[in-house]
Amino acid sequence: MGNQILAQAAKDAGAKIMFGYPITPSSEILETWAKICLKDKSLSVLQTEDEMAAGFGTIGACLAGVPAFTATAGPGNILMQDAVVMAEALRIPMVVMIMQRGGMSTSTVIYSQEEVRLTCFGGNSEGFRIVYSTSNLQELYDYTLKAFQMAWQYRWPAFVLADGYQGKMKGEVEIPDQKLSIPNLSPILKKGVNLRNCYNLEEEIGEIIVNYSDEYQRKRQEMEEYEDYQAKDAKIIILSHGIVAAAAKVAVDQLRKKGISVGLFRPITLRPFPTKAASEIMGKTQKIIVIESAIGQLSGLFKEELFGLNTTLIEVNKPALGFTPAEIIKTIQAYE
Amino acid sequence: MNNLPSFPQCYKVDSKPHKFCPGCGHPIVLKMLGQVIDEMGLADQVVLMVDIGCSLLAWDYFDLPTTQTHHGRTVPTAVGFKMADPGKIVIAYMGDGGAYAIGLQHTLTACLRDNPLTTIVVNNTLYAMTGGQLAPTTMDGEITTTTPGGKKEFETLKGPELLKTVAHKEAFLARGSTEKPLVLKQYLKKAIETQKQGHFSLVEALSACPTNWKTNAPKTIEKMKELEAFFKQGEF
Amino acid sequence: MIKILIAGEGGQGVQVIAEILAKAAFQEGQKSSYIPNFGVEQRGGVSLAFVVIDNQPIIYPKFAKADIVAIFSQRSHERIKEYLDEKTRIIKGPAITQKDAGLPSRVWNVWVLGQINKEGQMVKKESLVKALEERFTKQFSQNPELRELDLKALNA
């Protein structure tokens, strides 16, 4: 099951502690990790009293130089932002798995892509985060390893943004024999270190935010990832992420067989958004069709980064509902 | 004059004079804490976490690894750190708001779990840094900016008493006062020893806030007596 | 339009005199705005107050350069350097100059208020007195001696 894969991936990545509060559809991650802890005494788990404690506990462990992570969804994601924004401010490499569920309040426990904005920009801040949107079980595994690598390398909080469908589905993954170890592993809070996140003057914090932003922009290409699935030279390009992109891939294959010039551009990192690649690949297309299980959250990111791109943009929004390949085929045919 | 204790070795000299208000209880608590750390030789083991409120001003008080956290989230950060590095002495330093309002569930749960931590709660019966609003420890009839008519509607939260109901029998819970700093010092020492033995500890320190109490020196001392009459001191 | 910046440490009474000045102007029928600027410490730490008085509605409460700057402590001088230009008139409080006109420190801020108005002539003396009285009604009724001291400071 996706959630089980995530727990295993965290272990393989080098994580030593998981903090978490049960919330569907992420709870199996905590449960699987707890079982893993029974067999591996070098690992530990803590079910906390709420998601804030889970987030701050994760931060506490990272401060001690120990890779730690947490997982949540929906309303838990909202509470998690308290901790995430402190991780942004103090450059703490916390890793968070988000299993998106229905949007708006408690909603459904099943699925949506309505936590994109929250996961990318949920703090009272500029979103100095690394967000991976996975689209299948293999990616749940691969990008969890990557999230730990990149978080500790670049010192921004990193996310594996998946959803309830991926979390609950079952299938196989390939696990590599060689695993990279986490770079720069050492205590953050140590002698001579006094950390603050509270400032007095506008100028003080303004300078820090600008410096962070400059660094984030300077290094973004080292973090960005995307997939170009038959998109180059396509007349219509679908813009989708996560599991919707997986369905879109199937649709693209079938549409191509019918002779329709269509492709898929899939951002894998939503933060930093793969702007340069998007601009090059989608720059000359006739139509961009954004398909997402939300209202304009992905297209909002796209529009923000690629303002001025002179092409037709069509948004196909279905908040909290998935798309089958057949639906996508129909949609594209209607817009052809 | 030569009987005055010297400043703790673990003080960070370049952050002095400190930023607390004249008459504040924090520097007294912190000085006692510093002395305990010196006397127990723990400077290499202590990690200090501070809440948001006046406690945040202690972020550069000591030459010890220190971090500010978020309001009410000091305890969970401390829990996470201690789990990752159990060899350290982790101290969560907070005010009455951080420990008993926004962070109450964290304080309670850490005690319930008997997490081996030392929590220090500086209780001045109101929210000082934000200008003197109601706190869980505001006394009956006390005037604050959000209870201008004097608090009457509900009970006062008594932290150590509450935690006693869920604490492990080896946990250490105490309430002291800045009026009796040497007794407070003993409690802090015992609290750290309790953490070393693997159990939860909490020391509440009754403290003055002349700035928000709007009291001059004599009236501040008078009000401290009120606090000492309202909140029982001792080990629980 | 006249732009006044008052700078001192938390607890020196920077904000209260800024409020009184802005209120006095308002009560006379002028337009005024006041905005504080301070950090988290309740005492000590930065305390700045920006006051703008004009005969037209004031759109933005802060400004780049001040016409008059009143400084209460040497430390605050550092913080307000960016607001000075060749034309800015600077008033230094008794804590800096050691010249207190025989007044106790608790009314030094009101002394500075008097000096600001003397320098800038932004409101009538009576308006300032009225605004001061209103602001400290409770304190003055509890302590009539304070009223005498404040009025003496204002008129010094």
**Tokens 């999230």 -> residue:** A147
Given strand A312-317, what is the order of strands in its sheet?
A: A226-229, A262-267, A236-239, A287-292, A312-317
pLDDT digits (tens, 9 = 90+) for A59-68: 999 999 999 9
Residue B1 has pLDDT above 60, yes or no: no
In chain A, what are the domains? 2-223 (3.40.50.970), 226-335 (3.40.50.920)
Q: Do C42 and B57 touch (CB under 8 A)?
A: no
Quote the minimal CA–CA distance from C41 to chain A in Å.
8
Strand partners, A42: none
CB contact under 8 A, B76 and A17: no
CA distance A169 to C146: 76
Which member of A17, A50, A194 has the closest CB to residue B84? A17
- For chains A and B, CB pairs below 8 A equal 122
Q: Look at residue B203 and tell me whether its pLDDT is greater than 90.
A: yes
C40 touches B at CB < 8 Å: yes
Distance CA A259, CA A230 (A): 13
Structure tokens at B122: 């500086």
From A63, A86, A187, residue closest to B70, measured CB to CB: A86
| Euclidean distance between the first and the last CA atom of chain A, given in angstroms as a whole number | 37
The full set of domain ranges for chain C reads 2-155
Which chain B residues have any C-beta within 8 angstroms of a chain C C-beta? Answer: 19-22, 54, 56-57, 128-129, 131, 211-212
Q: Are C86 and C65 in contact (CB under 8 A)?
A: no
Q: What pLDDT sits at residue C41?
A: 84
Q: Decide if A58 and B85 are in contact by the 8 Å CB cutoff.
A: no
Distance, in Å, from the CA atom of A271 to the CA atom of A300, rounded to the nearest integer, reads 13
Name A334's Cβ contacts closer than 8 Å, sequence gap at least 6.
Answer: none
Report CB contact under 8 Å: C40, B22.
Answer: no
Query: What are the distances in angstroms from CA A178 to CA A13, A324, B74?
Result: 11, 36, 38
Which residues of chain B lie closer than 8 angstroms to A86, CB-CB? 69-70, 73
Which of B64, B80, B85 shows the shortest C-beta gap to A59?
B80
Closest residue in B to C45 (Cα–Cα): B19
3-state secondary structure of A18: strand
Q: Which pLDDT tens digit goes with each residue over B36-85?
A: 999 999 999 999 999 999 999 999 999 999 999 999 999 999 999 999 99
pLDDT at position A180, please?
85
> C61: which chain A residues are within 8 Å (Cβ-Cβ)?
none
For B133, residues 6+ apart whose C-beta sits below 8 A from its C-beta are B126, B127, B144, B145, B146
Residues of C in contact with A200 (CB under 8 A): 38-41, 45-46
Q: What is the ipTM of this complex?
A: 0.91
Question: Which chain A residues touch B16 with a CB distance below 8 Å?
Answer: none
Position B5 pLDDT exceeds 80: no
* Per-residue pLDDT tens digits for C85-141: 999 999 999 999 999 889 999 999 999 999 999 999 999 999 999 999 999 999 999
- Nearest by CB to residue A64, choosing from B73, B84, B105, is B84
**Does the pLDDT of residue C45 top 90, yes or no?**
no
Q: Is the pLDDT of residue B233 over 60?
A: yes
Report yes or no: C64 at the A interface, CB cutoff 8 Å.
no
Q: 3-state DSSP call for residue B236?
A: coil
Name all domains of chain B by residue range, CATH numbers in brackets.
Answer: 13-235 (3.40.50.970)
Residue of B nearest to C46 (CA): B19
Residue of B nearest to A196 (CA): B68
Interchain proximity A194–B59, CB inside 8 Å: yes
What is the reported pLDDT for C38? 84
User: What's the pLDDT score for residue A33?
Assistant: 96
Q: What is the residue whose two structure tokens read 């006739």?
A: A286
For chain C, say whether A200 makes contact (Cβ under 8 Å): yes
Quick one: pLDDT at residue C42? 84
User: With an 8 Å Cβ cutoff, is C39 touching chain B?
Assistant: no
pLDDT of residue A88: 98
Q: Is residue B2's pLDDT more than 80?
A: no
List chain A pLDDT tens, one digit each, 336 residues: 999 999 999 999 999 999 999 999 999 999 999 999 999 999 999 999 999 999 999 999 999 999 999 999 999 999 999 999 999 999 999 999 999 999 999 999 999 999 999 999 999 999 999 999 999 999 999 999 999 999 999 999 999 999 999 999 999 999 999 888 898 899 999 999 999 999 988 889 999 999 999 999 999 999 999 999 999 999 999 999 999 999 999 999 999 999 999 999 999 999 999 999 999 999 999 999 999 999 999 999 999 999 998 899 999 999 999 999 999 999 999 998
Question: Which residues of chain B from 53 to 72 reach within 8 Å of chain A, CB to CB?
Answer: 56, 59-60, 63-70, 72
Chain B within 8 Å of C142 (Cβ-Cβ)?
A: no
Q: Given this model, what pLDDT does residue A201 score?
A: 86
> Mind telling me how many Å the CA of A24 is from chain B's nearest CA?
22
Q: Does A199 touch chain C (CB under 8 A)?
A: yes
CB B93 within 8 A of CB B65: no
Determine if residue A164 is left, alpha or beta; phi over 0 gives left, psi from -120 to 50 gives alpha, anything else beta. alpha
Which two structure tokens, joined as six digits, stand for A16? 């030593």
**Which one of B26, B127, B211, B216 makes the best mutation probe of the C interface by having the most chain C beta carbons within 10 Å?**
B211
Q: Which of residues 77-106 of C touch A (CB under 8 A)?
A: 79
Interface chains of chain C (3 or more CB pairs under 8 Å): A, B
Angle at the Cα of A87 from the Cα atoms of A85 and A92, rounded to 5 degrees: 165
Q: Do the chains contact at B129 and C40, CB–CB below 8 Å?
A: yes
Q: CB–CB of A17 and B83 under 8 A?
A: yes
B58 vs B66: CA distance, rounded Å:
8
Give the whole-angstrom CA distance, residue B22 versus residue B39: 27
Is the CB of C138 inside 8 Å of chain B's CB atoms?
no
Tell me the nearest-neighbour CA distance from C45 into chain B, angstroms. 8
Q: What is the pLDDT of residues C27-38, one digit of tens each?
A: 999 999 999 988
Strands (E), B74-207: 89-95, 118-123, 172-177, 201-206
Answer whether the bond into residue A25 is a cis peptide, omega within 30°. yes
Please tell me if residue C11 touches chain B, with a CB cutoff of 8 Å. Answer: yes
- C2-155 CATH: 3.40.920.10
Show which subunits contact A, needing at least 3 CB pairs below 8 angstroms: B, C
Contact check, Cβ <8 Å, B67/A198? no
